[in-house]
Amino acid sequence: MAHNEGGGTGRRSAHWFGAEGRSGMLYRSWMRNQGFGAEVFDGRPVIGIASTWSELAPCNAHLDRVAEAVERGVWMAGGFPLEFPVMATGETLLRPTAMLYRNMVAMQAEELIRANPLDGVVLLSGCDKTTPGLLMGAASVDLPAVMVTGGPMLNGKFRGQDVGSGTHVWKFEAEIKAGRMTAQEGHVAEGCMARSNGHCMTMGTASTMACLAEALGMQLPGSAAWPAVDSRRMEVAQEAGQRIVAMVEEDLRPSAILTRAAFENAVRANAAIGGSTNAIIHLTALAGRLGVDLPLDDFDALARDVPTIVDLMPSGRFLMEDFCYAGGLPVVLRQLDEAGLLNSDALTVTGRGMGENVADAECWNTEVIRPLDAPLQPAGTGTAVLRGNLAPGGAVIKQSAASPALMSHVGRALVFDSPEAYHAVCDDEDLDVNPGDILVIRGAGPKGYPGMPEVANVPLPAKLLRAGVTDMVRISDGRMSGTGFGTVVLHVTPEAALGGPLALVRTGDSVELNVPERRLTLLVSDEELARRGAEWLPPESADVSGYTWLYREHVLGADAGADFGFLRGSRGSAVPRDSH
Ligand code: FES
Ligand code: MG
């Protein structure tokens, strides 16, 4: 037996529930206070259901009901399901940013899976960070695992039009600032935008990560797109519950699924769906858990042959409900396969290769999921990786969300040491700013903020908005919401808090953005930069204790997925020492 986890008694869980004497009595007796009969300890697979349910993470608030469907499936297949909570991170409420806690989600999932009598696990996620967090934790234990994301909200509907969560918040904000919409109308729109359970229904980070969990082979085919309130979401959850029991018997583990081939599929799928730039951070961190080599430049290189074919906001017109009815991700993956852009042998949770999973996928709406030869955006216009003296460790830009006219642009830098410093002046009538300027928003990296928040796509200065300006180049070491848009250079590495070149830019410097040539250049001499670097002092931090201290001490750069250095790799699923 490869992992020697069941000892002489078979399963891992048998170390608890199959134990003799006082220990065994202790393990079983307390569980029976939930009304389980003695037969559940007969050696059947024990399946954990790791749920990020929380009313404080509204996108995950229905996961308790998804868990019931999973439990049903586990019972049907002869397993013993046990649901347990993992910290939920909701994008909308958590301050200073949900991203600060993604690694904590991963730590909780990893430790709870390993410390408990589990043979396999079903991962229930929804909002942005919960999906990568659970995958990272599960990968570092490497017990059989299948993911079920909670599904998107129904399309937002406002005044007869589809409105997308996130994307329309930015649009409404600009409309209100420009005087084209009243605050009262904005309040009405709020309720219309979020009208059912589920996560954001744009191709934001949540939908992106749900699709990529599927592209990686970690959730059942078609899972990502079913709306949260569609009964077929519960069907697929039940199916996952049945499937995990079989996966335990097959000993099918994440390390067999999350290979370099799977990551290549995910990177290409992300380009095809017009997915979030945050996927780069999360896939990089996940790959680090498995020891899979996935350098930043591969995101550009692998995606260069892949056009964006899914016409969803923020890059396009439609929303996840439409994507679902058009056939969902299997249609995208089948098209990639037919074009030779899918590693079709990559193993998935079905026990089959990805190509076989999606071979019969049919497209029911070619406006929403276009053919590869009539794409929304041509190949090579997805997320680009930039290099240059302003970003020696790399930076990224989502071309499909940017303005073509700004893709090659030289402008005067207007520098702000924090997003707050910008917000304090951005509505000033006498702010010295021109449409051709480049807004530099720094101090928003993993260590600097801390937590690398989604603040890079700051709203434009009010006076320019009123003058009809719709986009400007912005450069930041922070992230952008997957629902956001604009010509925004993100994830600049090294971040300003580490004294990288971004920390040395001054208002009035010239900066050149050249996306076709993948360059980001600060037009200042090396000598001058060296002089400024010698004078640079690191920003003071008030965090001397607590989780934020731990985070600052151990977080890696964006180019390593902002994981903690000490969490990289897998620590396996060996049964820990007895507690009694
Ligand atoms: Fe939770 Fe968008 S805020 S998915
Ligand atoms: Mg329950």
What are the DSSP E strand ranges found in 249-308? none
Ligand nearest to the CA of 88: 1
Separation CA 87–CA 57 (nearest Å): 10
In angstroms, the CA 557 to CA 569 distance is 16
CB burial of 55-83 (b: ≥16 within 10 Å; e: otherwise) equals eebbbbbbbebbbbbbbbbbbebebbbbb
- Whole-model pTM: value is 0.96
Q: What is the pLDDT of residue 104?
A: 98
Pocket test residue of 125, 197, 200, 319 for ligand 1, highest count of atoms within 8 A of CB: 200
Cα(460)–Cα(469) distance, integer angstroms:
8
Alpha-carbon gap, residue 36 to 23, rounded angstroms: 18
How does strand 395-398 pair with strand 383-386?
Answer: antiparallel
- Among protein residues, the one with the nearest Cα to ligand 1's atom 3 is 91
Atom number in ligand 1 closest to CA 57: 1
The minimum-distance atom of ligand 1 relative to the CA of 90 is 1
pLDDT score recorded for residue 15:
96
* Ligand 1 midpoint to CA 204 (Å): 8
Mutation choice for ligand 1 from 199, 209, 319, 483, CB with most ligand atoms inside 8 A: 199
- The strand pair at 120-125 and 46-51 is best described as parallel
Ligand 1 centroid from CA 201, angstroms? 9
Taking the centre of ligand 1 as the mean of its atom positions, its distance from the CA of residue 486, in whole angstroms, is 19
Looking at ligand 1, which atom is closest to the CA of residue 482? Answer: 2
198 Cα: distance to centroid of ligand 1 (angstroms): 8
Cα of 218 vs centre of ligand 2, distance in Å, is 23
Q: Which residues touch 191 (CB under 8 Å, ≥6 apart)? A: none
pLDDT given for residue 485 in this prediction: 82
- What residues are paired with 489 via a beta bridge? 397, 475
The length of the chain in residues reads: 580
Separation of 43 CA from ligand 2 center, angstroms? 21
The number of angstroms, rounded, from the C-alpha of 256 to the middle of its chain's C-alpha atoms is 21
ipTM of model: 0.90
Query: What is the number of the ligand 1 atom nearest to the C-alpha of 60?
Result: 1
- The minimum-distance atom of ligand 1 relative to the CA of 166 is 2
Mutate to test the pocket of ligand 1, among 52, 53, 59, 101 (most ligand atoms within 8 A of CB): 59
pLDDT of amino acid 171: 85
- Ligand 2 centroid to residue 241 C-alpha, Å: 13
What is the enclosing helix (H) or strand (E) of 161?
Answer: strand 161-163
Ligand 1 atom with minimal separation from the 59 CA: 1
- Concatenating the DSSP letter of every residue in 38-78 gives GGGGSSPPEEEEEE---TTSGGGTTHHHHHHHHHHHHHHTT
Residue 531 phi/psi, 5° resolution?
Answer: -65, -45
Ligand nearest to the backbone CA of 74? 2
The residue whose CA is least distant from atom 2 of ligand 1 is 200
Nearest Cα neighbor of 431 from 457, 456, 462, 459 is 462
| CA nearest to 415, candidates 429, 433, 428 | 433
CA dist., res. 386 & res. 517, Å (int):
8
98: CA distance to ligand 1 center in Å?
Answer: 10
Q: Which residues line ligand 1 (CB under 6 A)?
A: 59, 90-92, 127-128, 165-166, 199-200, 204, 206
Q: What is the pLDDT along the chain (580 residues), one digit of tens a residue?
A: 333 344 445 899 999 999 999 999 999 999 999 999 999 999 999 999 999 999 999 999 999 999 999 999 999 999 999 999 999 999 999 999 999 999 999 999 999 999 999 999 999 999 999 999 999 999 999 999 999 999 999 999 999 999 999 888 888 888 898 889 999 999 999 999 999 999 999 999 999 999 999 999 999 999 999 999 999 999 999 999 999 999 999 999 999 999 999 999 999 999 999 999 999 999 999 999 999 999 999 999 999 999 999 999 988 999 999 999 999 999 999 999 999 999 999 999 999 999 999 999 999 999 999 999 999 999 988 899 999 999 999 999 999 889 999 999 999 999 999 999 999 999 999 999 999 999 999 999 999 999 999 999 999 999 999 899 999 999 999 999 887 789 999 999 999 999 999 999 999 999 999 999 999 999 999 999 999 999 999 988 888 899 999 999 999 999 999 999 999 999 999 999 998 8
Ligand number nearest to the C-alpha of 93: 1
CB neighbours of residue 229 within 10 Å: 17
- Name which of 501, 516, 474 is nearest 392 in CA terms: 501
Ligand nearest to the CA of 92: 1
For 273, other C-beta atoms within 10 Å of its C-beta total 27
Contact 153, 200 (CB under 8 A): yes
pLDDT of residue 315: 82
